[in-house]
Structure 1
């Protein structure tokens, strides 16, 4: 019994030390990220990000952004090739009244039938609600609840039409998934700066949850924010809470910046052999 009690005390003490270290690290990370934000949060870097597509295409930007976000998985060249085929056939506006699927418009796990039904669902949303933001608002004025109900709406659309798993892969279970692609889309729509569009006016950026990709997860794991690199809702909430401690009104401010550090500088967010070649090595909190 004594040993167990002692172990519990030691564990609590270790947790307190970890929390204090975590707070000190957050201060140094905040300074570093603000400096990096001024370097990377510029349009010249969007070619390495899925936001390149809605930034480049004309037409209904919300619609183009939604489709681009849904298919933002896999190799960049394959995504680009698919989106070109998609928008060439289905158009840059969700009101083209197409009635026939194209056998050449498919992507990885999504068949041409999945794509055709996806387009049909999107046009239905625009007909019923006027926009995707309108659909969200019809479900709830609280962003998380609106997102959950929107994804369930999409999943129900697929179930009613007996669609295959390729369609549902685009709409993961909102109760457990981090919903990375949806959260990326929401960042584009709700935040406003040189990168993000800020088209939606009825939701607040402070309520956004992190879209956790490989680089965000690595950052969080190496800095003790999460204990694994799983794209789960639990991890997304932990990461967002950390950044709310830095900027409570705009927790996703550094999302684009962190992913550029990973993609452009090959940053591992810890001391690594790449550090000596990095332009940010001076005063870097990770080295």
Structure 2
């Protein structure tokens, strides 16, 4: 499969009607960017496991937050967060993990005004990708955690591919028929491929990496390969290449 084949795949299948089932479908419900960025972070954080259960868990959390996740965070103290999500379970994540994560998001929003502004603060002019900024963003979130949110929020410094965090960035920075976008301070050219086992196997078959682990170094390697095809948008084909692993063959 060459660049022309990938572009043909994108033009044919990069459509919103092919999104479901996916946690991204929950993000479309928020026209206000200040609500959408919080909903998207929640949806991406819970995006592991069986897709039907993922969507169910994301809906449960967002329903608890009401029509405006931003207002919910602004008006919720830590005790309120723990009480609201008491009893929640999504695979390895408990309500305490969710509450801790939301407390981190609340702290960031209270300080910077939005998640976008906070992320932009960690972006260096010489950074080739947003990987360093992502590490800075997670470190800033950690300042407000009452306890560790577990694997809901990956730590880039540990070498994780940070698939769900880079997925969140893809949703917020890109804007097309699938990705809703909304962030205006960042550029798609610096995004990193959200790498999971399925995407790793696909990219190995495409000859984009010969590394043996699906970690951050491999994600950067693959992103560099896609950037040779589409310098301005290296994650352009992420949706269409991963969709068959969720929905089955096109």
TM-score range relative to shorter protein: 0.7 to 0.9
Distance 1:108 1:137 in 2: 32
Q: Which residue of 2 aligns with 1:36?
A: 9
Q: Which residue of 1 aligns with 2:58?
A: 83
Q: CA contact under 8 A between 1:218 and 1:229: conserved in structure 2? A: no
Give the structure-1-normalised TM-score: 0.75
Give the structure-2-normalised TM-score: 0.85
Q: Which residue of 2 aligns with 1:183?
A: 166
Counterparts of 1:121-132 in structure 2 under 5 Å? Answer: 121-132=104-115
1:65 and 2:40 matched: yes
Where do 5+ consecutive residues of structure 2 fail to align? Answer: none
1:98 and 2:92 matched: no
CA offsets, 1:192-227, max 9 Å, x none? 111112211111111111001233111112233223
1:153 and 2:140 matched: yes
- What is the CA-CA distance between 1:58 and the residue it aligns to? 5.9
Q: Which residue of 2 aligns with 1:19?
A: none
CA offsets, 1:148-207, max 9 Å, x none? 11112233444xx3x25xx13122231211111111111111111111122111111111
Name which of structure 1's ranges 230-239 and 136-145 shifts more when overlaid on structure 2: 136-145
Where do 5+ consecutive residues of structure 1 fail to align? Answer: 1-27, 267-277, 279-287
Q: Which residue of 2 aligns with 1:232?
A: 215
- What is the CA-CA distance between 1:117 and the residue it aligns to? 2.2
Match of 1:171 among 153, 175, 200: 153
Question: Greater CA radius of gyration, 1 or 2?
Answer: 1
Q: CA contact under 8 A between 2:131 and 2:156: conserved in structure 1? A: no
RMSD, matched Cα: 2.1
Distance 1:188 1:235 in 2: 21
- What is the CA-CA distance between 1:144 and the residue it aligns to? 2.8
Q: CA contact under 8 A between 2:27 and 2:39: conserved in structure 1? A: yes
Distance 2:171 2:248 in 1: 23
Q: CA contact under 8 A between 1:217 and 1:229: conserved in structure 2? A: no
Distance 1:98 1:190 in 2: 27
Q: CA contact under 8 A between 1:215 and 1:262: conserved in structure 2? A: yes
Match of 2:196 among 213, 217, 238: 213
Q: CA contact under 8 A between 1:155 and 1:171: conserved in structure 2? A: no
Match of 2:26 among 39, 42, 53: 53
Count of residue correspondences: 235
